[in-house]
């Protein structure tokens, strides 16, 4: 079988409203998911035995055993659809780990898409979506890879018209932040629902309720947000997910490039990615 190469695009939350903490320990949220044209890359091919390898600039931060979401996705698919042939899997880890841009969730979703294609499973098969939901709250959104409003724990999805082609700059100060720790630090105050309207309008009138607690845990986020907000041509800047990665949408590619050059020069140790909305 020819190797299947599958993109695992980065996810950003253009807005993220935390509404309440549930009795089961999860949180009810309303979020606006968007996806980028860049991210990790998964390569899968049939083999004589199961193999898993991680390459790329952030390979050292990931487990290569049962704790990796790619392997968890493989096993969840096998439990739902039956075990398949042994596979050789290579994950090119280009996105920072524990950074609020859905890297692990995107990787798991990419694995599910590959397996579904190999086995002739429809992408909207309820069993496949259930596999995704069982792996994490962001995985169903990453499975579809389309701009959407997410409700409930983030798994109830309503597609929205995307801002495809909008230039995006991601910036991470080199700090990993625990999602669980950020949610625990949330103050429990419901500040209201997302507004109605077009995608950019909803994002601009929205907020990220996890930004405050994330900034307490990782004060370096303050400097990133300040650096992005002051760049010419910014349409919107905000922290994504539970941090520490922040993003800015730009009016045009030239403005994004100028911002990347300025921030990269001032903070050479920060991670930057110039991309666009898908």
The residues annotated with a catalytic role in the active site are: 11, 138
Nearest to 73, CA basis, from 19, 111, 25:
111
Q: What is the 3-state secondary structure (H, E, C) of 196-207?
A: CCCHHHHHHHCC
CA dist 254 and 168 (Å) reads: 11
* CA dihedral sign, ordered 55, 59, 60, 64: negative
Alpha helices in the chain (DSSP H): 69-81, 103-119, 126-135, 139-144, 179-185, 199-205, 211-217, 220-229, 253-266
CB 160, CB 203: distance < 8 Å: no
Neighbours of 217 (CB within 10 A): 17
Cβ(150)–Cβ(156) under 8 Å?
yes
- DSSP conformation letters of 102-137: -HHHHHHHHHHHHHHHHHT--TT-HHHHHHHHHH-T
**What is the C-alpha to C-alpha distance for residues 238 and 248, in angstroms, rounded to an integer?**
7
Maximum CA extent, the chain: 54
Positive or negative, the CA dihedral 39, 62, 241, 141 is positive
């Amino acid at each position: 079988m020819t190797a299947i190469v599958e993109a695992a695009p980065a996810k950003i939350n253009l807005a993220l409203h935390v509404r309440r903490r549930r009795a089961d320990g999860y949180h009810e949220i309303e979020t606006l998911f968007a996806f980028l044209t860049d991210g990790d890359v998964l390569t899968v091919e049939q083999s004589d035995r199961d193999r898993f390898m991680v390459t790329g600039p952030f390979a050292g931060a990931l487990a290569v055993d049962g704790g990796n979401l790619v392997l968890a996705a493989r096993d969840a698919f096998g439990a739902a659809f039956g075990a398949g042939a042994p596979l050789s899997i290579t994950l090119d880890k280009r996105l920072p780990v524990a950074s609020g841009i859905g890297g692990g969730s995107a990787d798991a979703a990419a694995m599910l898409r590959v397996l579904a294609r190999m086995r002739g499973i429809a992408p909207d098969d309820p069993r496949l979506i259930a596999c995704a939901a069982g792996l994490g709250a962001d995985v169903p959104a990453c499975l579809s890879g389309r701009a959407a409003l997410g409700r409930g724990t983030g798994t109830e999805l309503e597609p929205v018209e995307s801002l495809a082609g909008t230039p995006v700059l991601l910036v991470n100060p080199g700090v990993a932040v625990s999602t669980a720790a950020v949610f625990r630090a949330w103050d429990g105050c419901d500040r209201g629902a997302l507004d109605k309207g077009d995608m950019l309008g909803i994002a601009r009138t929205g907020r990220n309720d996890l930004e405050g607690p994330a900034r307490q845990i990782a004060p370096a986020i303050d400097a990133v947000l300040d650096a992005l907000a002051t760049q010419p041509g910014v349409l919107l800047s905000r922290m994504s997910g539970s941090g520490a990665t922040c993003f800015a949408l730009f009016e045009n590619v030239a403005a994004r490039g100028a911002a990347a050059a300025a921030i990269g020069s001032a903070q050479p140790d920060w991670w930057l990615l110039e991309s666009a909305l898908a």
